[in-house]
Chains A and B, each alone.
Chain A
Amino acid sequence: ASGKLVLYTSQPDKIAAETIAGFNKHEPQVEVEIFRSGTTEIMNKIEAELVGGAPHADVLFIADAVSMEQLKADGRLAAYPGADLRAFPAGTYDPDKTYFGTKLITTGIIYNTAAPFKPASWKDLLKPEAKGQVVLPSPLYSGAAAIHMAAIEAMPSLGTSYYMQLAANGADAAKGNGAVVTAVAGGQKMYGMIVEFMALNAKVKGSPVDFVFPSEGVSAVTEPVAILKTAHNPEAARAFVDFILSKEGQELAVAQGFLPARTDVAPPAGFPKPADLRIMPVDLAKTAADADLLKRQFSDLFGG
């Protein structure tokens, strides 16, 4: 493949740069142009471009599947039936092959090392000791948080009342996962819900935080990649998707500190095996359809 490929991604800068470098090793002819921003900004930009009548992006590589589901429902995504999905468990990709999960990003609990107790389960966040000390990312800003909320509500042991109880215990919403790690590492809050890699990265670098995978399980987003119907360079787009799903591409993700979606690649050090993780199941299509309701519920509870 050759030519220009426009990639919109929510990956952090450094990671996105590594991903593209890896891709270019395979396809040196393709010049990748990248727009990096939060998932919501990317969605806004795409929508504005669509309304304006001249979408720019070829490939979309964003945090959560719910947004993908919405784009799919609007008929924006192109199917890629030729994708090699043999090493991927079902459920990590769209059965219609419009988007493909690339890794597992789980949401667990971060806590400040000065916290009065070490949480082990989601229910620990409802304890009186945690009153006013919990911060959670708002699903209005974070795709992972939306899926997490859907997952928790779908868990019979937690259910729809969990978030209400959290609210009653004085938990506060923050804009996104970055804000959660800031609040907990900075000591303004003791506990937070957060995607694992951010907490673990902070811990590795020396922030006074730690991370637990709660006993009830964690929710996971898959950081899916997809090709837009309006892509200008579908050939390069498919080559990109191929690379991301390839073994080499997955090993790169591991090197970056993520749990791979492929079953034939070993997880990074310090992570449980994917098989050992208890992933709370989520019905993506339903979540996408109910997203508005979910978010309204959340904003009624937490204001954000």
Chain B
Amino acid sequence: MAALLCLIAIFPVLRLLVEGAMPQGKLGLGALDRVLSDPATWTAFGHTLWVSLAAMAISGLIGGAMALVVALGDLPARRTLVFGFTMLLIVPSQITTIAWIELLGPSSVLLKLFGLAPAPGARHPLYSATGITLLLGLEHAPLVFLSLRPALRVLPGDLIEAARAAGARPMRVVRTVVLPLVAPSLIAGMALAFVSTIGNFGTPALLGIPARFPMLTTLIYQRLSGFGPRVLSEVAALSLLLGVLAAGGVLVEAWLAGRRDVRVEGTASSIHLPLGRWRPVAVAAAWGFLALTLLMPLLALLATALVAAYGQPLGPATATLENFRFVLFDDPAAGRAIIDSLGLAAAAAAILFLVAVPVAYFAVWRGRRLMRLLVLAAELSYALPGVVLAIAAILIFIRPVLGLTLYNTLGIILIAYLARFFTLAQRPVAAAFRQLDFRLEEAAQMSGAGFVRRVMTVALPLVAPAAAAGGLLVFLTAFNELTVSALLWSAGHETLGVVVFSLEQAGENTVAAALASLTVVATVGLMALASFLTRHLATPVLPWQA
């Protein structure tokens, strides 16, 4: 089954390869040649490469620091902080981006307060390569955070204590012991951030277009939408470039992660490193960060949802619940979409949660080459722009496959999601396996447990926190997903992303904001429900538990 899933994950990519090499069924490398000889391609390639690298560094820095501080530092209200950092993923990225544009723009209320607002007419500071990089880095920091968090939780306390006994101060302990030990997870998180960044379309579109800063995804989208699908083979060729970047990232990751043996023996215990006089700084930084990246966009979202028309200031006179009423009672699509997206996201998360464990088990503990290759290839589906993956899915499923008609059902979206988000689920788990002492597995073998039982009773519970983090990543990402479902939805099978996007396209920003706010509420509710359901598990599974 795991192998099947891997195949699902790489099949679209293969289909695209075929399209790139054989446009309309005729062999010819013309498209590839055209793309490679176009200077625009290389400009975008260069932009993508270095923006992604820089953004990855920012994500690593922010996400890593967040994870370390809340996992090891003696901060108050740690669970709330973790919950907040996880929530970052559910704010749709365009909302965050618009919020930042407003915050740093000429009309910024905050900046005006300090007299720092740029003069009207001046170039918006975010409409720049730096702006794109910064926002992408911010946006993907939770990926690093969520991959790192489970790894920090299984760290045996005596390794840290040994370092402190050796006279190392907390910062040094972190640098020389903690970080190297959780390196696989940190690297996995950063690789996820890298691959997400090269595949990200929303932010480069919002900021890059006005900044005249083309990246590969925007280039692909422009080609597709501007010159029509006649350029499918060119798009496939461009997608291959993305694939090359992603694969490069993954190979570097594999190399880095494989270099060191970080299997820890011994039992995990909760660890605290006193922050000393840095404690107030860390508290302020953590909450300030949450306020800026979570609270501010959410408030902006709410403010928009509560007025009748976009751009009206929110006040007693303008406040209205009309948008919520419309979403809840008048728009059947919205209700359907919430349910469909919930179902899709939950199904994708659950399936991938279960599949990621055996896949990573084989790829890491058993060192199966084939499995590693499949995993690597599956990475591409995540790096491809959603549109491209959706096109590939259409190409494959437009006719019944194995007697099954998936086209125009939720099934095709689910499969596309499985393909696209496989990596999100698999990464943290693989990293967790890299860190585990395999004698625990041997002890189970010795007890006479066969493979399935071992995975279910030993491997799965041991990596459950990592798998849960992965499942959460999938769930939250899939819940708001737009670009894949934009082409794959069908009447009666809308997704949230599609409905929100349609509303925005129609200029109905306020209704869209109301729907997005409801989404946030629904997600928080679900996360609470998940907490409730898993509260009796032996090992706390969700990142913000324990």
Q: Which residue of A lies closest to B205 (CB)?
A: A175
Question: Which positions 485-531 of chain B face chain A at CB distance < 8 Å?
Answer: 486-487, 489-491, 498-499, 502-510
Q: B59 within 8 Å of A by Cβ?
A: no
Q: Which residues of B contact A53 (CB under 8 A)?
A: 398-399
Q: Which residues of B contact A268 (CB under 8 A)?
A: none
Q: B115 within 8 Å of A by Cβ?
A: no
Asked if A304 and B491 sit within 8 Å, CB to CB, the answer is no
Q: Which residues of A contact B98 (CB under 8 A)?
A: 182, 186
Give, as a whole number of angstroms, the nearest-CB distance from B9 to chain A: 19
Q: Which residues of A contact B120 (CB under 8 A)?
A: 132-133, 190
Assess A209 versus B311: contact at CB under 8 Å? Given A41-B486, A48-B394.
Answer: yes
Asked if A48 and B229 sit within 8 Å, CB to CB, the answer is yes
Write out, one digit per residue, whether chain B residues 26-45 have a CB within 8 A of any chain A CB (1) or not (0): 00000000000000000000
Q: Which residues of A contact B509 (CB under 8 A)?
A: 178, 181-182, 185
Q: Which residues of A contact B127 (CB under 8 A)?
A: 172
Q: Which residues of A contact B19 (CB under 8 A)?
A: 51
Total B residues in contact with A, Cβ cutoff 8 Å: 67
In-complex Cβ contact of A299 among B222, B311, B312, B487 (8 A)? B222
Q: B130 within 8 Å of A by Cβ?
A: no
Q: A37 within 8 Å of B by Cβ?
A: yes
Assess A302 versus B310: contact at CB under 8 Å? Given A41-B486, A70-B228, A133-B121.
Answer: no
Q: Which residue of A lies closest to B223 (CB)?
A: A140
Write out, one digit per residue, whether chain A residues 189-210 have a CB within 8 A of any chain B CB (1) or not (0): 0100000001001100111110
Residue pairs across A and B with Cβ atoms less than 8 A apart, 10 shown, are A40-B224, A52-B395, A173-B209, A182-B507, A207-B310, A207-B311, A207-B312, A303-B208, A303-B211, A304-B222
Assess A178 versus B122: contact at CB under 8 Å? Given A53-B398, A185-B309, A186-B102.
Answer: no
Q: B124 within 8 Å of A by Cβ?
A: yes
Asked if A140 and B226 sit within 8 Å, CB to CB, the answer is yes
Q: Which residues of A contact B510 (CB under 8 A)?
A: 205
Write out, one digit per residue, whether chain B residues 475-491 have a CB within 8 A of any chain A CB (1) or not (0): 00000000000110111
Q: Which residues of A contact B445 (CB under 8 A)?
A: none
Write out, one digit per residue, whether chain B residues 114-129 have a CB within 8 A of any chain A CB (1) or not (0): 0000001111100100
Q: Which 6 interchain pairs have the tightest Cβ spacing?
A: A303-B212, A47-B229, A304-B209, A185-B311, A40-B225, A52-B398
Q: B539 within 8 Å of A by Cβ?
A: no
Q: Which residues of A contact B499 (CB under 8 A)?
A: 13
Q: A295 within 8 Å of B by Cβ?
A: yes
Assess A205 versus B224: contact at CB under 8 Å? Given A133-B120, A178-B505, A302-B209.
Answer: no
Q: Which residues of A contact B105 (CB under 8 A)?
A: 188
Q: Which residues of A contact B222 (CB under 8 A)?
A: 140, 295, 299, 304
Asked if A177 and B507 sit within 8 Å, CB to CB, the answer is yes
Question: Which positions 150-186 of chain A face chain B at CB distance < 8 Å?
Answer: 170, 172-179, 181-182, 184-186
A172 to B212 Cα, complex, angstroms: 9
Asked if B230 and A302 sit within 8 Å, CB to CB, the answer is no
A45 to B102 Cα, complex, angstroms: 34
Q: A88 within 8 Å of B by Cβ?
A: no
Q: Which residues of B contact A49 (CB under 8 A)?
A: 394, 398
Asked if B505 and A54 sit within 8 Å, CB to CB, the answer is no
A49 to B102 Cα, complex, angstroms: 40
Asked if A206 and B508 sit within 8 Å, CB to CB, the answer is no
Q: Which residues of B contact A44 (CB under 8 A)?
A: 224-225, 229, 387, 391, 487
